[in-house]
Amino acid sequence: MVWCRHEMSTRVDQGVYAHAGALMKMILGADLSYVNEVEALGGVFYDQGQARDPFRILKDHGANLVRVRLWHTPTWTSYSTLADAQRTIRRARALDMAVLLNLHYSDTWADPAKQIVPAAWAALSDIDQLERAVYDYTYTVLDELNAQGLMPDYVQVGNEINTEIMVGAPHNGASINWPRNARLINAGISAVRVAGRVAGQQTATSPRIILHIAQPENVVPWFDAALAAGVHDFDVIGISYYPKWSTSSMEQAGQTIDQARRRYQTEVMIVETAYPWTLAAGQTDDHLLGPDSVLPAYAPTPQGQRDFLIDLTQTVLDAGGTGVIYWEPAWISTPDRPSTWENATFFDEQHHVHAGIEFLSHSYTKRARECR
């Protein structure tokens, strides 16, 4: 018979907790990839009645990491380019915040429904050529960031790569060609490692590598298949957890985190999550997180959003996970461009900070799990 006893252990203050006799830093972060664009469109953020830098707002409320996405060569926007990502990283670094660079390996959104190869690589039907292109691009991006003193602390090799990466059309239910998939993923991993060794000799900043899967129920099947195919040398399993799109309860998400870190002997964190603070129409009633996103235990209010995030973070911590990153707390509506995410940000209708942001500064306690 196996039994477990939970006991209160070391309190988590300012993102640091004691684990196995060592100090561990808990990641409490936010994806701020939209901020540059929102501000250019006239968006203003308020805290305590004053207009303030949203990076500073998040930092002052407890965030210690900024996540930023990078598209290869988007022709439909001037944002999430390398130049835009550099600006975001500079803003984070100026506040001494860690950085997670999210490489989409696409010219647009990459997710389980679509992993579209960048146009620059579309004609590379030979796997050797595509593998080399992935390596060269990844290395070049990191080399340029390092030259400017902007080497990230974490690098995601792909975004929500549940389905086969760098293909020509949206996902149609086809199974993954794992020999091909593994070679492309490993090419990205290898480039990060080599660039990291160079950077480590110069600045002691060598990025940790994250592989990112959407929804907890997909984690173990995907990583079992990936490891069997030869994917290797990553540091962290990143998970998206959105109750709207997941079959896992919060408790089950915690169980997956515990299982994955033990099964693969790696760190696990939530790199994307969100919850609505209202269902009322603001500048738009076309919210991505609508009534189907609401859980019975958490009302769609600022307090409900806060409670969901505190409970999720505590669940992650108890399961041995190392962090929670919110997506995307500053994607507010602007005068000329409504945001379909405005009801899931940390800012109210007048763009003043509300209670949801308090999950970042909450005093967590890691509960030790003793099993016999």
**Hey, which residues are catalytic here?**
160, 272
Report how far residue 353's alpha carbon sits from residue 54's, in angstroms, rounded to the nearest whole number.
10
- In 3D space, the residue among 57, 56, 82 whose CA is nearest the CA of residue 68 turns out to be 82
User: What are φ and ψ of residue 309, in 5° steps?
Assistant: -70, -35
Report how far residue 165's alpha carbon sits from residue 167's, in angstroms, rounded to the nearest whole number.
6
Alpha helices in 265-371 (DSSP H): 302-318
Beta-strand pair 50-51/22-25: unpaired
List the Cα angle 301/307/27 in 5-degree steps: 120
3-state secondary structure 132-179: HHHHHHHHHHHHHHHHCCCCCCEEEECCCCCCCCCECCCCCCCCCCHH
Beta-strand pair 154-157/208-214: parallel
Burial of 42 (0-12, 13-18, 19+ CB in 10 A): exposed
Residue where the block lists tokens 């090799």 = 157
Per the CB < 8 A criterion, the answer to whether 64 and 97 are in contact is yes
